[in-house]
Structure 1
Amino acid sequence: MATVLSVSGSPSASSRTARLLRHLDARLTAQGHEVVPLDIRTIPAEALLGADFRHPAIVEATGLFARADGVVVATPVYKASYSGVLKALLDLLPQYALLGKTVLPLATGGTTAHVLAIDYALRPVLTSMGASHIVQGWFTLDKDITVHEDGSVTVAAAADEALTQVVDQFAAALGRTPLLAAAS
């Protein structure tokens, strides 16, 4: 099966976005995929903000992108766009870091006014980075994500059904996407 890099673009340690992403990782793992989590907030700020391409954490993150067959990118929406930590990492990756990759963009936010952030802010960047296939993304309202004291997550039924569909579409697309990077 495929190797999936699961990228959380949330700067918060108690993020609903990251918890939702890890909840979806379990579905991909159950389908037989190897899921590698990457929480951008754990990369040292001096490496991200100082654009230190040679910092070991940046080199490691770049390697994770290179080895992945598919990438799930999840971000909270701030100011009608994706998070600054996600932007900082994407800026440090090679121009075509997503070449030959299937990508699933996900976003969370407090209001449906931000639902288009995936298509108008995130998708163009992912496309410019060479993603061979960006499947339909999904925006989930914060109020539809309940994080329990044990860290587990419950997603409102309608949102969970939609997320299941997009994750399954992503998983199916992983098997159909030609690995352009491997052919070169």
Structure 2
Amino acid sequence: MSHIVIISGSPTPGSRLNGLIDHVESKSAEKGIKISHIRVSELPAEALLHANFKDEQILAALALVESASGVVIASPVYKASFTGILKAFLDLLPQTGLKGKVTLPLFIGGTIAHLLALDYALKPVLSVLGSRNILGGVYAIDQWIERRDGGGFELSEELQERLDRSVEELSEEINWLEIRSKDTAVNS
């Protein structure tokens, strides 16, 4: 079974970013993909900031990334880049921690003006971590996601369609990598 880990770099539990994450999770589950979560803001702050590789929660989070076929990296955009807590977590990954994994970036910001944060802030970091299969990603603006009165989020139709296409691409790429991996193992 394919496995993805969703890494949320939001420092705010009620962030609209959760609307994107919930949608991706739901669509991935429909495809039979196993999903794990890392909410970086819930990791021990001291261990995260001091790069304590012996901390049990940090080790567990790193193991989730290692075991996944795909990684969804989600963050709000602050000051034209992803959050500092997300960067602190990515700094803990081994140099090739994303090698052989499909990566899907999801960003949300206040305006469309920060759209290029995906390409100029996040993708170089993912590349340095060994990711060679970085999908185009989805950038959303706050006004495309409404908070529901009873909880949860309502996404604009266009945003839902873009997320659906991204999940489809993520699933296809993971399947392709898994088939290729099996073929390589058989031929070895």
Q: Shorter-chain TM-score: what band?
A: over 0.9
| Alignment correspondent of 2:98 | 98
Change (3 A) 1:90 1:179: farther
| Alignment correspondent of 1:59 | 59
| Alignment correspondent of 2:45 | 45
* Distance (whole Å) between structure 2 residues aligned to residue 150 and residue 124 of structure 1: 39
* Distance (whole Å) between structure 1 residues aligned to residue 106 and residue 3 of structure 2: 18
Q: Deviations over 1:7-30 (max 9, x none)?
A: 111010111112321221011001
Paired-residue identity, %:
40
1:147 Cα shift? 2.2
Q: Deviations over 1:55-95 (max 9, x none)?
A: 11111111001100100111000110011110000011111
Q: Is the 8 A contact 1:100 1:179 kept in 2?
A: no
Letter in 1 for 2:17: T
3-state DSSP class of the match of 2:91?
A: helix
* Distance (whole Å) between structure 2 residues aligned to residue 21 and residue 52 of structure 1: 27
1:15 aligns with 2:15: yes
| Alignment correspondent of 2:33 | 33
Letter in 1 for 2:130: G
| Alignment correspondent of 1:6 | 6
Q: Deviations over 1:104-150 (max 9, x none)?
A: 01100000110000000001111111113111111001110112233
Cα-Cα RMSD: 1.8
Aligned counterparts, 1:1-184, within 5 A: 1-177=1-177, 178-179=180-181
Name whichever of 110-119 and 157-166 sits farther off: 157-166
TM-score (norm: length of structure 1): 0.94
Aligned length: 183
Larger radius of gyration: 2
* Distance (whole Å) between structure 1 residues aligned to residue 162 and residue 145 of structure 2: 13
Unaligned runs of 5+ in 2: none
Unaligned runs of 5+ in 1: none
